[in-house]
Amino acid sequence: MSTVTPPATVASDAENVTPKEGRRKRRRSTGHLKIVPETPELRQRLRDRCREVAAKFDKSTPMTKDEMETVSRGLLADMDMPEGYLGWIMVVLSSEYWRDQVAGVPHSRRLFLLPHCLKHAEGCPADYDEFGMNCKTCGACSIADFRTRAEELGHRVLVAEGSPIVMKIIVSGYVDAVVGVACLNVLEKAIDKILLAGIPCMAVPLLSSDCRNTSVDEDWVREMVMLEHREPQQKTRSYVHLLRGAADIFEPEQLQSLVPKLRGELSLREIKEKLHDGSDALVGIDPIAATEALGLDFVSRGGKYARPFITLAAYDALTGDKGTESGGADVVAKIPDGVKRAALCIETFHKASLVHDDIEDDDTFRYGEQAVHKSHGIPTAINVGDYLIGLGYRLVAGETKTLGPAAVADVLHCLSNAHTRLSEGQGAELVWRDNRDKRLKPIDALKVYALKTAPAFEAALYSGVRLAGEAEAYEEPIRGFSRNLGVAFQILNDLKDWQGDADNKLEAGGDVLGGRPTLLWALALASLDADDQAKLLAMASADCGLSDTQRIATVRTLYNKAKVFDQASRLVDKHQQRAEEIADAIQPEPLRRLLYHLVDTVLERPSESAVPLVSISSSLPITAPTKA
């Protein structure tokens, strides 16, 4: 891991905190530790101290959240300050840590992120234009002033809250650093996502926990916006180039280069335009070419492309770790096409499973558009999914000459094993859904999770490692790491289902209504008495005499009574700890760093939903976020 210990000549306890070589094993919630220091003088004093401490860090690799918390706690203890300031201190320390790196990015490549309204959100008089809210004509708060100065310097400006939209813009390649203003709730999520990827970021916390009707240290904001462009003293490694490289694979030109069309005369870009122009999409497309057209369109339609990123990053970690350096864009561009096709293969399998899952669950939408079976019918959708499976195997099998027969055989073996296990897990879920007996043991739910979710992580990691060289020594660690990561990820999905998942699900309790087996259901049955078990089992049927809303309310009550949310959270911690213990022993360091990065980004804990996008300046293409 990165060294964050400043020189031993510095006497401060905060500065001499030495993070463990491994990971912190006991996870603590910091959600309640978000008190903003009361006076401007105290905030400035703490900020100055953060700047002193951060200046002495080794910045060769991004600081993890665990390391940041360790140092922040030491800093507060050293200054005899309350623990409640921890969240605020972590944001300020992180900003000072990245100050030099942000300065190394030209103003024209910085994104300035602002909250919806600092003072009068409900009565904001700003009008909306084609780009959203036009703060320039308002004047009721400081946003217009900040925005005007930032745009004069060349910043891209976005009025929104939340890290997902920012990540999409960064991966799309429009900006290389983020400066912003937000509440601590939003900034905590930004630390988890944006900073872990190694994206230079500075932020000024609002003076209350609410992102609206509040105020901010305006002189800090002006200073941040005005930060001069200069070369950083030390450049920090970043996964941005690999994230962009994974997303670029699915752009029409590169996708067509990696997967030359076998049917029809239309280019992939022309096909995409035709399929999304709102007319009868398949008119004018050769019937024999239609399946290929629909399949490639769906592969490139959306998603985070996390699995291709894992493959590229694992390959890079074992071939010099150059893709994370400042010149990583050129390195990633030169990754062999055979490796990129293997990364693409993982995504085609994933997209095939989504097409089939949407049919099995009768879901209406995917990536904000109609699911394939809704727009083209179930038979066509099944066929498209089957085509994508065949395409995936073809992508790897065709690389025997470039990658070597042994490597191709090993990767195909891993892929086929992952594919069959995923199908077994999905089959077990369907059998349970269709059975009259809705009893489920926690151990059986965990087995389904391991089969359904872990194989994709394992295949993505193993493919990247094997294409970089011999992988026998990594097989068992990768399998164990992926199993624990996948199980923890699936349990978190269960928990998100009860908060409403902004990514794909719009209402809480969808798994119950959809008849899907979950660990929460199993834990409740294992904890409730016989009468409450009977009540819960009755809720599995739509014919129970209650409306969907009443069913969900009843299940939630029983879940709370059984304390299943707490139990599930503890299981996430348990499997995360196991994954980290495996990562602790991995060599070399770049691969170990990648595994830690996956733990931190994949296992994001549920929290408040971000406020939707409000406005985007005319200097930033409004279509940019849809690319990632």
Cis-peptide into 588, omega within 30 deg: yes
Predicted pLDDT at 552? 93
Tell me: pLDDT of 256 over 70: yes
Question: Could you write out the three-class secondary structure of 549-574?
Answer: HHHHHHHHHHHHHHCHHHHHHHHHHH
Tell me: pLDDT of 297 over 80: yes
pTM of the model: 0.83
Q: Are 295 and 372 in contact (CB under 8 A)?
A: no
DSSP assignments along 77-90, one per residue? HHTT--GGGHHHHH
Work out the average pLDDT over 376-388: 94
- Rounded-to-integer distance, Cα 588 and Cα 615, Å: 44
Q: What share of the chain has pLDDT > 70, as a percent?
A: 80
Burial of residue 614, with CB atoms counted within 10 A of its CB: 0-12 exposed, 13-18 middle, 19 or more buried = buried
Enter the tokens of residue 475: 């097989």
Which residue, chain included where needed, has tokens 């299981």? 571
Candidates 62, 95, 86, 41; CA nearest to 224 is 95
Tell me: pLDDT of 501 over 50: no
Tell me: pLDDT of 289 over 80: yes
Tell me: pLDDT of 398 over 80: yes
- Rounded-to-integer distance, Cα 547 and Cα 570, Å: 32
Average pLDDT, the chain: 83
Residues 6+ apart with CB under 8 A from 108: 154, 155, 156
Tell me: pLDDT of 179 over 50: yes
Tell me: pLDDT of 486 over 80: yes
Of the ranges 57-66, 448-457, 611-620, which one carries the lowest mean pLDDT score? 611-620
Burial of residue 136, with CB atoms counted within 10 A of its CB: 0-12 exposed, 13-18 middle, 19 or more buried = middle
Predicted pLDDT at 275? 72
- Rounded-to-integer distance, Cα 348 and Cα 316, Å: 21
List the domains of the chain with CATH numbers.
40-232 (no CATH), 237-403 (1.10.600.10), 458-604 (1.10.600.10)
Tell me: pLDDT of 26 over 80: no
- H-run or E-run covering 402: helix 400-403
Would you tell me how many other CB atoms lie within 10 Å of the CB of residue 228?
7
Tell me: pLDDT of 190 over 90: no
Specify which of 223-232, 310-319, 363-372, 489-498 reaches the highest per-range mean pLDDT.
310-319
- Could you tell me which residue, 133 or 93, shows the higher pLDDT? 93
Summarised one tens digit per residue, pLDDT across range 584-609 is: 999 999 999 999 999 988 887 755 33
Length, in residues, of the chain: 628
Work out the average pLDDT over 534-555: 92
Work out the average pLDDT over 448-473: 96
Candidates 279, 298, 278, 300; CA nearest to 290 is 298
Tell me: pLDDT of 89 over 90: yes
Work out the average pLDDT over 173-196: 76
Work out the average pLDDT over 238-249: 94
Which residue, chain included where needed, has tokens 């809705």? 438
Of the ranges 189-203, 333-347, 583-597, which one carries the lowest mean pLDDT score? 189-203
Specify which of 117-121, 476-480, 503-507 reaches the highest per-range mean pLDDT.
476-480
Predicted pLDDT at 521? 96
Predicted pLDDT at 245? 96
Work out the average pLDDT over 343-371: 91
- Rounded-to-integer distance, Cα 124 and Cα 140, Å: 7
Predicted pLDDT at 192? 62
Q: DSSP H helical segments within 238-364, as ranges?
A: 240-248, 252-258, 268-275, 287-299, 306-317, 328-333, 337-361
